[in-house]
Amino acid sequence: MTNRVNGRSHDLSGSDFALLMLFLSRPNEILDRDTISFATRGREALPYERGIDVQLSRIRNRLGTSKAFPHYIKTMRGNGYILSVPVEYGQ
């Protein structure tokens, strides 16, 4: 899948796209690792699995940073992750 972020095209894998859509559908809501794993892998996260961290790193790199929003997806230590920007849906 190809998406445009900050005017640039980015190819996303199916699971990366599912992760991004999960965050966009639930902005400003803390998502735990199991919620993310179910949405992208269809199963509960394993205790020492690093795949979610790698996937989040890829999404963060593709989103980039700006002075207004230095980190779109923030880590909420011990709780999960949150998309901390306003999301608007248009036609």
What length does the chain have? 91
As a whole number, the mean pLDDT across the chain is 81
C-alpha to C-alpha distance for 9 and 12, rounded to whole angstroms: 10
Q: How confident is the model at residue 65 (pLDDT cuts 50, 70, 90)?
A: low
User: How would you classify residue 18: left for phi > 0, otherwise alpha for psi between -120 and 50, otherwise beta?
Assistant: alpha
List pLDDT tens digits, range 18-41. Answer: 899 999 999 999 999 989 988 888
pTM: 0.76
Kindly list the structural domains of the chain, giving each domain's residue range(s) and its CATH number in brackets, ordered by start: 2-83 (1.10.10.10)
Give strand pairing partners of 63: none
